[in-house]
Chain A
């Protein structure tokens, strides 16, 4: 934790709504004039696309069938933790980018980089107000690393598993041309690491946003349409509401159709997810920035 150089981590699988959280934060950063050092989880994959393929074949041959992007073998947990620590100490650090597609690679054409490769590590720009992480492994805690201790605001964005399956099946069959069986095999292969590395993070997060569909998802393989926001509810749970002075009556009033389901949980309709995020996160972010500016002032004088 660092009041001077705070770190916000949004943890969750892509498609779970991490991008909505990212958009909500971008709005708030823009509105409050915050200069953020944004890092992506993919940058901390251990292997580029070609290497990953080879590593996967090797793992298959060695009877390690669970090897996947979810697990620790395929990621640089230690390096991410070091990035957090370093940034928390003095606001510096290194970053790189994973180039997902041609468009992203285009920007690095002078380095002759291809999609599926990483950019070289480089220094973070100086003078940022906070660090913002978005990815799969924002607060891993296990025998080897403890990222959670360095993160000032930990947000979990988590779909129920049926929904996650629908989304993956939909994406991989329609846009990537895989067969349903092949996608299901991948899902099952990754399940082990999903349960052991992704899920346990959600007990360390300060706020969880969980999208819950209210349409039938009993057979994720045949539920062809991804539930729309209007066909879902969002469960928002605060680990410790007192820590953030959460004003539930205010939230209930502002978010039409919302209700409390537990003393620390509020349910909002799916379409209100973005609004809920901004209502909840704005005061928290302001608080973080106030604490920081109090500490930074003496330096400025």
Chain B
């Protein structure tokens, strides 16, 4: 925790509307004239695409069939902790990016970097107001690393598992040309580490946004259309509403069609996800910035 250089972490698997969070932060920062240092979890993967393939094969040869990007061994939590520590202390630190595709690799063509490789480590720009991490392991506690104490605001973006599967199957069979069988195998292979390392983080989040589809997802393997945002509701849960002075009556008034489902939980129509995020996060960030100014 650092009043002077706060760290906000967004944890969730890709596809779990992490994009919406990113956009929300961008809108928020523009409006409040704030500068955020964005850090992607992928940058802390231990292996690039080619090495990861090898690592999975090696693990399989040693009868470890669970090895995946969820696993501690495939990540450099120590580097991530170093960044959190130094950013919290000084507002500086190092990050790098994983180049997912040709567009990501384009700016690094002078360095002959290919999609599937990492950009070189670089310093976080000077004068940022906060660090925003976005990835799978925002406040992981495993393998000697304990990141939660460094993080000032923990946001979980979590789809229910049926939805997550639909999205993965859809993306991997559609865009990446894998067979359904192969994708299901991958999902099952990664399951133990998902349960061991990703899921427990959501128990510690300050706020969870959980997208819940209201269409039939009983067979995620054949549910061909990913439920649209209008075919979902979003469950927003504050671990301790008093920590953030959450004003539920205000939220209920501003978010049409919303309602409370538990004393710390509000349900909003899917289409209102972005608005709900702005309404809940703005006062929290404002307070954070006030504390920063006072520190």
Contact = CB atoms under 8 A, between A and B. Distances in A.
Contact of B216 (A162, A210, A215, A233): A210
Interface stretch (A23-31, A122-130, A198-206): A198-206
Contact of A218 (B158, B162, B188, B222): B158
B221 A199 contact: yes
Contacts of B220: 199
Contact of A162 (B161, B213, B218, B233): B161
Interface stretch (A33-41, A98-106, A187-195): A187-195
Interface of B is mostly: mixed
Given A160-B162, A233-B214, A188 B202 contact: no
B278 interface: no
Given A212-B212, A219-B202, 17 more contacts: A156-B218, A160-B162, A184-B195, A195-B188, A199-B219, A199-B220, A210-B217, A214-B261, A215-B261, A216-B202, A218-B156, A221-B195, A231-B261, A235-B216, A262-B231, A265-B216, A267-B214
B200 A214 contact: no
B68 to A, nearest CB: 14
Contacts of B162: 160-161
B237 interface: yes
Contacts of A262: 215, 231
A149 B128 CA distance: 64
B167 interface: no
B216 A214 contact: no
A265 B199 CA distance: 30
B188 A221 contact: no
B60 interface: no
B17 interface: no
Contacts of B200: 219, 221-222
A221 B199 CA distance: 8
Interface of A: 156, 158, 160-162, 184, 187-188, 191-192, 195, 199-203, 205, 208, 210, 212-222, 231, 233, 235, 237, 261-262, 265, 267
A161 B160 contact: yes
A208 B215 CA distance: 10
Contact of A213 (B184, B212, B218): B212
Contacts of B127: none
B80 interface: no
Main secondary structure of the interface of A (DSSP, over half): mixed
B253 interface: no
B216 A237 contact: yes
B252 to A, nearest CB: 14
B237 A188 contact: no
Of B156, B188, B265, B267, chain A has the most CB atoms within 10 Å of the CB of B188
A294 to B, nearest CB: 33
B85 interface: no
A135 B173 CA distance: 32
Nearest to A199: B219
7 contacts: A158-B218, A199-B220, A200-B222, A212-B214, A214-B233, A215-B237, A235-B216
Contacts of A217: 160, 210
B192 A188 contact: yes
Nearest to A189: B192
B17 to A, nearest CB: 13
A75 B237 CA distance: 41
Interface string B229-241: 0010101010000
B208 A220 contact: no
B148 to A, nearest CB: 14
B262 A215 contact: yes
Given A188-B195, A192-B188, A220-B199, A199 B160 contact: no
Contacts of A156: 218
Closest 7 CB pairs of A and B: A237-B216, A218-B202, A216-B237, A202-B218, A218-B158, A158-B218, A219-B203
Interface string B60-96: 0000000000000000000000000000000000000
Nearest to A65: B65
A261 B214 contact: yes
Contact of B215 (A200, A216, A235): A235
A195 B184 contact: yes
B145 interface: no
B218 A222 contact: no
A280 to B, nearest CB: 14
B214 A218 contact: no
Contacts of B261: 214-215, 231
A261 B217 contact: no
A191 B188 CA distance: 7
B235 A215 contact: yes
A235 B214 CA distance: 6
Interface in B153-168: 156, 158, 160-162
Given A219-B199, A219-B200, A231-B262, A214 B235 contact: yes
B214 A191 contact: no
A253 to B, nearest CB: 19
Contacts of B202: 216, 218-219
Given A160-B161, A210-B216, A218-B158, A261 B221 contact: no
B265 A216 contact: yes
B29 interface: no
Contacts of A192: 188
